[in-house]
Amino acid sequence: MDLRLAKFNALLKSVKLPPGQLTLDDMFQLYYYSQDSPLSVELGTLQGLGAAILAINSDMVVTVDLFEDVESVDTPSREHYVSCLKTHPREYSVVSKYLAAFGNIQVIKNLSYLESSNFGTGSIHTLFVDADHSYEGVKKDLESYYQKVSRYFLLHDYYSGWPGVEEASVEFFLDKPVRFIEREFLHTSIQVVEKI
């Protein structure tokens, strides 16, 4: 195991984290690419694990999710989110209460792309995209947030059976001044894209 990852694993043992669906490598990517971040934003909170990891290095984290209001998803992945809520319950009141203990996490209940208007140009250092995984959903999020991000886009589930994530990302970034950072860890499903 990479020495950085071993040290990170030791750090995790000292922090009480919420449940979630991130591998150790995924969590390390969030931790590493949010270093010295004045503001990190997570789209798709689930139960709060991603926000908690981002909060370790970020001055402030804003996490946006529909939580129990999945009926308002307006893309083809709506059915997936309705069934996912049954296996991974996430109520706004429970998650926001738990994450409040970190002191630097703001939890917002909204469609991810609608929340983008509340951020200034270049104000987000690290954007973790893990909300609607359909092609349409990812594209909407990238279009809505591109000008708001100053440094990194972390695209979750890029490598794990969600073709809409990769397809929308490759298409969207094709003519943008960015670089896709080569995947360093085998067990991560996060693709890192850096503005240049």
Q: 14 lies in a domain?
A: no
Domain contains 75: yes
3-class SS of residue 82:
helix
- Identify the domain containing residue 32 by its residue range: 22-195
pLDDT tens for the chain, residues 1 to 196: 477 888 898 889 888 899 888 999 999 999 999 999 999 999 999 899 999 999 999 999 999 998 988 777 777 777 777 777 777 777 899 999 999 999 999 999 999 999 999 999 999 999 999 998 889 999 999 999 999 999 999 999 998 888 999 999 999 999 999 999 998 877 889 999 999 9
Number of domains in the chain: 1
Confidence at residue 38, expressed as pLDDT on a 0 to 100 scale = 98
Evaluate whether residue 153 is within a structural domain: yes
- Tell me, letter by letter, the H, E, C secondary structure of 93-144: HHHHHHHHCCCCEEEEECCHHHHHHHCCCCCEEEEEECCCCCHHHHHHHHHH
Tell me the torsion sign for CA atoms 161, 48, 83, 75.
negative
Crossing angle of the two packed helices 135-145 and 163-173, in degrees rounded to 10: 40
pLDDT of residue 89: 72
Q: Is the dihedral of CA 39, 140, 176, 166 positive or negative?
A: positive
HEC per residue, 166-191? HHHHHHHHCCCCEEEECCCCCCCCCE
CATH code at position 153: 3.40.50.150
Q: Is residue 4 part of a domain?
A: no
